[in-house]
Amino acid sequence: MRQHKPAHTATVSFILSVVNKSEQELRALHINPHELLAIYQDYVQRQAELTDTAIYISRILEGASHVHSIKFRVKEPQHLLKKIIRKKREYPNRHFNRHTYLHLINDLIGMRVLHLYKGHWAKTGHYINKHWQLKRPPYAYVVSSESNLVPHTFGRFGCQIMPHPSGYKAVHFVIETQPGRQRYFAEIQLRTLFEEGWSEIDHSLRYPDHNNNELTNLLLQILNRFTSQSDAMASFMRQLTIALHSCKHPAALDALYAQLANLPLTQAEKQQLYTLISSASRQQ
């Protein structure tokens, strides 16, 4: 990882080398290199405070039920500058300077809250809503194969549905927090352990310069499909345990059989599971 320079020693030339752009290229995007330098100098001095704020948020999130683990990071200064350039291309009318960037960049603090089971994110979402003011509605990043889940889970929660072309899956909350004098925004990402594994692999191959090629994209799409199937199987196994302990209620088993029918299994595997589940329910 590249170590950032102390704020007082950074120069415009250093900033240009960090973002790998010439001054002319930046000005063509209506970005003043001196403003990037001012942002860098301000942001470097905030690193310790941002880290303390991330720890503070993490400790509150530890009180949420069904959370498996929590990670956090504070964005590296060089990654912040590169993100500002990408955002300026995407939103030309936004003006980034040292007075505005704290409000315009939502993920200076990034939190990842991981769950064992897909359905547990909603409980954590309610917990987040209880403890923080949101900057905007949560974004649910989905793939087309999950479209049947949208109206029943994400849409009902008030999420803005965001189909992701690369297959990324998570629910993002942007919270406002002010443990000290400065107000900051933090992005809290909710996902399963399987989704986290896929995201880490995707991140290692493509971030921060968004390297892209057809072969990598195809392999990541295949891996993403395996991820969704693994989450579906994990949820089914959990529901199986619950249903077998509720076998006096036929509706529980009926729901289980309906879920089994949609799993990515061969017909022989499904039939074997039907037989074993029926046998187990009779023994309860």
Q: pLDDT-derived band of residue 187, with 50, 70 and 90 as boundaries?
A: very high
Distance CA 176, CA 190 (A): 17
- Whether residue 223 sits in one domain with residue 89: no
* Residue-level pLDDT at 136: 96
* Residue-level pLDDT at 211: 64
pLDDT cut 90: percent of the chain above it = 59
We report the CATH number of the domain holding residue 120 as: 3.30.460.10
Q: pLDDT-derived band of residue 1, with 50, 70 and 90 as boundaries?
A: very low
- Whether residue 254 sits in one domain with residue 148: no
- Whether residue 178 sits in one domain with residue 105: yes
**Residue 28 within any structural domain of the chain:** no
Q: At what angle do helices 214-244 and 250-261 cross, to 10 degrees?
A: 160
At which of 158, 193, 228 does a domain end? 193
Instruction: Give the count of domains, the chain.
Output: 2
**Residue 209 within any structural domain of the chain:** no
CA 9 → CA 12, 38, 128, distances in Å? 10, 12, 40
Q: Which residue has the higher pLDDT, 134 or 1?
A: 134
**Residue 131 within any structural domain of the chain:** yes
Q: Which residue has the higher pLDDT, 211 or 281?
A: 281
- Whether residue 126 sits in one domain with residue 236: no
**Residue 18 within any structural domain of the chain:** no
Q: What is the pLDDT of residues 137-149, one digit of tens each?
A: 999 998 866 655 5
What is the DSSP secondary-structure string of 137-154? PPEEEE-GGGTTTIIIII
What is the pTM (predicted TM-score) of this model? 0.84
Query: Which residue segment(s) compose the domain that 87 sits in?
Result: 46-193
- Whether residue 187 sits in one domain with residue 56: yes
Instruction: Give 237's contacts (C-beta < 8 A, 6+ positions apart).
Output: none
Q: What is the pLDDT of residues 73-128, one digit of tens each?
A: 999 999 999 999 999 999 999 999 999 999 999 999 999 999 999 989 999 999 99
Q: Is the pLDDT of residue 154 over 50?
A: yes
* Residue-level pLDDT at 56: 96
Peptide bond into 6 cis (omega under 30): no
